[in-house]
Amino acid sequence: MDYAYGKKALVIGMARSGAALASVLVENGAEVTAYDAKTGEAMEPIKALLGDTVTWALGGDAVKLVEENDLIFISPGVPIHIAPLVRARELGKPVIGEVEYASVVNHAPMAAITGTNGKTTTTALLGEIMENTGRQTYVVGNIGIPFISIAKKTKEEDVVVAEISSFQMETADTFRPRAAAVLNISEDHLNRHGTMEVYIDCKARIFHEMRGDDTVVLNRDEPMTYALRDRVRCRVAYFSRLQQVDNGACVIDGRIVLMHDGEAVDLIDAKDLKIPGSHNLENALAAAALADAMGASVEAIRLGLLGFGGVEHRIEPASVARGVRYINDSKGTNCDATLRAMHAMDRGTILLLGGYDKGSDYLPVFRDMPDTIRAVVALGDTRARVVDNAKQCGYENIHVSDGTFEDAVRMAFDLAKEGENVLLSPASASFDMFSDYEQRGRVFKDIAAKIAEENN
């Protein structure tokens, strides 16, 4: 019997994951109270979805609700240090995340992917590979579909591929994938985690419960990621684009290969990948190593690598206006992601940089600025910091947009020459102007299409 059956359960955070969580808890026999700090029109779609199957408690004192309920569930966007959760721990009441509960009710073997950058691309690619095996494949998690929404209906013969964030691992206690990857680690989300040590610990929790024949896949080329091997208590495999590994995936003589105890199994020529950039080669290697660990055939892996065309909002070609290409990398929400996008540019590029303040600076972007970045347009709440960081690094071709997002995009277009790129890769979250990076990317593409219509 599910441990929530017959219990009074409080769900804090009623966005997409929270709503799915509340729905499953009701189905599993819990008496559910749904709480969110937001009230009014913003909550109407969620209220319509769940109706009177839950008790609604919008706004008000969540601490009192904690005291009245047996189990406390949270969606990923809820920080674990808020007062209601502090009170829950004082009372000895369990604080359970959506992904943790999903892993409890899930029946299928799972591959989980975390890291600062590349998670979505690697998750989508691995999902495509696993679909090539003929197994029912569920691609879930931070990629957009809450894990909990499909967890109960999975079967042992199915497979779950999950993109996992550091937020989701804060409340993971029994979470145990069959295979897991840590792609890379660089500074991000310090406004939530506080220190890099805490952030790294959250990433490492993805494999904390893995044992025996479970497989952890680590990036051999990045020191912080490679150092995690000492924490692993199961099989370890590696991926590398720079050196040969004994187990995992790497590049030998320009070809992507699987490695089994030092023996190479050929897959494809690295040049045949459709997704550009050295970072995407790393994502492909990680996906191949994970697929191998999940039992995919060589042919299924090969077909997936050759056929995968990328994901929305990651170095995604948009419109072309007057010979200027628009490229949507709205998912570039930190400096490392933006550096990867910049280095994938093969021609003169105008970079749109700035947005919501996560507590990080932009010095890494300017210190490693490739020659292809001909100008930068600073925008959003952090535009003054973008300008200041540019000056510190001696970068001079910077322009400031004090207007709307569309004003910034049009400024970049005016700066671009025929044959060049306008790249949205802001190294920032989107919450100063948008609900999420997806909305920002869609709006960027709409503006680009409008400019193309006006100029072609």
In DSSP notation, 336-367 reads: HHHHHHHHT--S-EEEEE--B--S--SHHHHH
Rounded CA-CA distance 169/80 in Å is 11
In a domain, 148, yes or no: yes
CATH number at residue 14: 3.40.50.720
Boundary residue ending a domain (93, 120, 149): 93
pLDDT confidence bin for 1, thresholds 50/70/90: low
In a domain, 1, yes or no: no
- Tokens read off for 364: 């890494």
* β-sheet bridge partners, residue 316: 328
- Tokens read off for 234: 């199961």
In a domain, 3, yes or no: no
What does DSSP say about strands 248-252 and 159-163: parallel, antiparallel, or unpaired?
unpaired
Q: Residue 315, SS3?
A: coil
- pLDDT higher than 80, residue 192: no
Domain count, the chain: 3
- The candidate with the shortest Cα–Cα distance to 128, out of 366, 257, 283, 304, is 304
Give the structural domain span for 89. 8-93
- pLDDT higher than 70, residue 186: yes
Whether residue 105 is found in the same domain as residue 186? yes
Q: What angle do CA 266, 269, 272 make, to 5 degrees?
A: 135
- pLDDT higher than 90, residue 60: no
* Torsions phi, psi for 106 (to 5 deg): -75, 145
Percent of the chain with pLDDT over 90: 81
- pLDDT higher than 80, residue 384: yes
Q: Which residue has the higher pLDDT, 220 or 81?
A: 220
In a domain, 142, yes or no: yes
**Checking phi first, is residue 219 left (phi over 0); if not, alpha (psi -120 to 50) or beta?**
beta
- Do the Cβ atoms of 160 and 111 come closer than 8 Å? yes
In a domain, 438, yes or no: yes
Whether residue 229 is found in the same domain as residue 363? no
What pLDDT score was predicted for residue 191? 60
CATH number at residue 434: 3.90.190.20
What pLDDT score was predicted for residue 43? 87
In Å, what is the CA distance from 219 to each residue of 106, 163, 211, 290, 436? 28, 16, 19, 12, 28
Whether residue 144 is found in the same domain as residue 68? no
What pLDDT score was predicted for residue 39? 86
Whether residue 76 is found in the same domain as residue 117? no
Whether residue 300 is found in the same domain as residue 321? no
- pLDDT higher than 90, residue 32: yes
What pLDDT score was predicted for residue 59? 87
What pLDDT score was predicted for residue 189? 56
pLDDT in tens, 222-275: 999 999 999 999 999 999 999 999 999 999 999 999 999 999 999 999 999 999
What pLDDT score was predicted for residue 358? 82
Q: Which residues contact 1 (CB under 8 A, 6 or more apart)?
A: none
Whether residue 75 is found in the same domain as residue 122? no
Average pLDDT, the chain: 94
What pLDDT score was predicted for residue 259? 98
What pLDDT score was predicted for residue 148? 95
Boundary residue ending a domain (39, 59, 93): 93
- pLDDT higher than 70, residue 194: no
Whether residue 111 is found in the same domain as residue 47? no
Whether residue 228 is found in the same domain as residue 143? yes
In a domain, 59, yes or no: yes
In a domain, 2, yes or no: no
Question: How is 243-282 classified by DSSP, letter by letter?
Answer: S--SSEEEEETTEEEEEETTEEEEEEEGGG-SS-SHHHHH
N- to C-terminal Cα separation, the chain: 63
Looking up tokens 């660990």, which residue turns up?
293
pLDDT confidence bin for 187, thresholds 50/70/90: low
Question: How is 198-245 classified by DSSP, letter by letter?
Answer: HHHHHHHGGGTT--EEEEEEEETTSHHHHGGGGG--EEEEEEESSS--
Radius of gyration of the chain (CA): 23
- Tokens read off for 240: 């590398």
Whether residue 264 is found in the same domain as residue 158? yes
CATH number at residue 161: 3.40.1190.10
Whether residue 334 is found in the same domain as residue 446? yes
What pLDDT score was predicted for residue 143? 83
pLDDT confidence bin for 420, thresholds 50/70/90: very high
What pLDDT score was predicted for residue 270? 97
- Tokens read off for 320: 């072309």
**Strand locations in 87-141 (E):** 95-97, 110-114, 137-141
- pLDDT higher than 90, residue 196: no
- Tokens read off for 156: 């042992």
Whether residue 157 is found in the same domain as residue 295? yes
What pLDDT score was predicted for residue 361? 92
pLDDT in tens, 145-179: 999 999 999 999 999 999 998 888 888 899 999 99
- pLDDT higher than 60, residue 36: yes
Whether residue 149 is found in the same domain as residue 189? yes
What pLDDT score was predicted for residue 444? 98
- pLDDT higher than 80, residue 281: yes
In Å, what is the CA distance from 302 to each residue of 113, 269, 289, 359? 20, 10, 12, 41
- pLDDT higher than 90, residue 427: yes
**Counting every residue, how long is the chain?**
456
Amino acid symbol at 205: R
Q: What is the pTM of this model?
A: 0.78
Boundary residue ending a domain (307, 335, 365): 307
In a domain, 226, yes or no: yes
- pLDDT higher than 90, residue 366: yes
- pLDDT higher than 60, residue 450: yes
